[in-house]
Amino acid sequence: MRAQADRLRALALLALVAALGTSAFAQTDFFGRVVSGADGAPVAAVKVAAELRGVNRDAGATDAEGRFRIDPSSLFGVQRRIGEPFMLFFSKSGFLTVSRQLQIGATPTEIRATLTPESEAVLEPAERERLDRLVRGGARGPLFLVPYDLPAEAANLSAAASTERLRANLERAIVTHVQSNSLISTGGAVGLSLLPLDAVKDVARLKSYGAHLKALAVITGFGALEDSGGRKQIVMSSTYVVVPTVASIDSFVIYVDDTLPADQLASPRLQERLSKLWGRTTVLALGMNEFRDARAAGDQARLRRVREYLRAERAGAGPGNDQFVTQLNRLIALLDREIRP
């Protein structure tokens, strides 16, 4: 009798554990492991960040086995939408940051992320030669645009035409923003050259391009079509990778997401919005050069001017520019340490 009761209790406990386990599992949309590209070993303490609908959240870190679990609904406090784009970022000092563009699915998704050690972040020789040819062929830099990965049916222009239009508009906005800014001495012309490559979503690869080209920044983006109440719309994410020029600042990436009617891809308003932020981000990147040069020269006044500029940018950043403000804060904190009272 007692043995039967024990068995029943054990069964009930098992059922409870199973139920709890299933429930916990059902709430986890993404889980997986982060390993090193060098030897395949799990990497612990990798910072995991997530981005949903333009909002970024810290999603914890990998455990000793390199494992992580993320439930976007609870992390962002929103209702789950099947098919919605979702970004994950894995970063750890000494490794190139990896991002993954995902979609929220009906069932949990397992992810394996491989971190490339910075020292091994090299390009294939053929790819390097291709980039070198572009530079020899007159690519202007120090900004480079990798073609956006856009669904063909979303553009009301050919892919080549819309890419070139985007490049021309972004370049004009960025360069005129830099030219009108008396703070920044560019030490030469600023131009945005198109890299005629296939679209690249891998931020680590974009950083490698930037490092190889000695670029200030590499810009790209992608879009996905979705159906919203019978209307086609495009969810577009643009990526601005700033290549570091200050040793104490890692390279950083700023993302801008837009959702717009599919036929509005070439809308000048969208391009204006992107251009404005990219112009400011470019000045921020050039500000890093100023910081580096002023620090090397021991020029306190110049450091103060850069700090005032960054503070003004922070004050005027407006909502929805969290990543931009985060980078501003990092740079301002560095300046605070350098500037004598």
Partner 1 sequence: MRVLVALFATLALATPTMAGEIVGFQPGKPAAPVLQQTKLRAVIADFLDPGGSGMGNAISLIIWREVLTAIADQAGAGVILAKAPGNRPLVDLLQERYHEAALDAARSQAARMAVWGSVEEHDGRLFVSTYLSIIPDARSAELMLRLEGQPPLGADVAAEIPHSRLNLPLVETKRQSLLQRSVVMRNGAVIRKRPDSRAAEVTRPAVGSALEVSDLVDGWFKVDVPNLGPGYVHHSVVDVPPQLVDVRGATTRLSSAPGGRAGSPVPPGSYRVVNMRYAGGSGLSYEIAVSGARGWVLATAVRPRFSLPVVHLVAGLYRYQLGRYAEARGEFEQYLASPGVDTDNASLAMVYQLLGASQVVGKDALSLRSASAPPIEAFTRAIELTPYDPAAYNLRAVAVLALRGRLGEMLPDLAKATDLDPDNPRARSLITLLNRVTTTGEPSGLRRLVADANDRQVRDEVARLARRADGPSQ
Give the residues lining the site for partner 1 (CB under 8 A): 165, 168-169, 172, 175-177, 179-183, 189, 191, 263-264, 266-269, 272, 276, 299, 301, 304-309, 311-312, 316
Here the tokens at position 66 are 């390199």
- A 10 A CB-CB count for 240 gives 26
CB of 264 to partner 1, least distance (A): 8
Between residues 64 and 315, which has the closer beta carbon with respect to partner 1? 315
Q: How is residue 185 annotated by DSSP?
A: -
CB of 147 to partner 1, least distance (A): 17
**From CA 279, how far away is CA 260, in angstroms rounded?**
22
CB of 312 closer than 8 Å to CB of 283: no
Between residues 22 and 185, which has the closer beta carbon with respect to partner 1? 185
CB of 341 to partner 1, least distance (A): 12
CB of 175 to partner 1, least distance (A): 5
Helices 322-338 and 300-315: angle between axes, nearest 10 degrees: 160
Q: Would the CA dihedral through 165, 170, 173, 178 be positive or negative? A: negative
3-class DSSP state of 339: coil
Peptide bond into 142 cis (omega under 30): yes
Between residues 58 and 272, which has the closer beta carbon with respect to partner 1? 272
Beta-carbon contacts of 136 under 8 Å, excluding residues fewer than 6 positions away, are none
Between residues 214 and 311, which has the closer beta carbon with respect to partner 1? 311
Between residues 104 and 183, which has the closer beta carbon with respect to partner 1? 183
3-class DSSP state of 80: coil
CB of 290 to partner 1, least distance (A): 10
Between residues 22 and 329, which has the closer beta carbon with respect to partner 1? 329
CB of 268 to partner 1, least distance (A): 4
Between residues 179 and 326, which has the closer beta carbon with respect to partner 1? 179
Q: How many CA atoms lie within 13 A of 183 on its CB side?
A: 25
CB of 316 to partner 1, least distance (A): 7
Pairing mode of beta strands 109-115, 142-145 = unpaired
Between residues 63 and 299, which has the closer beta carbon with respect to partner 1? 299
Polymer length in residues for the chain: 341
CB of 212 to partner 1, least distance (A): 25
**From CA 200, how far away is CA 222, in angstroms rounded?**
9
**From CA 239, how far away is CA 148, in angstroms rounded?**
10
**From CA 105, how far away is CA 81, in angstroms rounded?**
8
Closest CA to 306 of 341, 339, 340: 339
CB of 255 to partner 1, least distance (A): 22
3-class DSSP state of 321: coil
Between residues 83 and 261, which has the closer beta carbon with respect to partner 1? 261
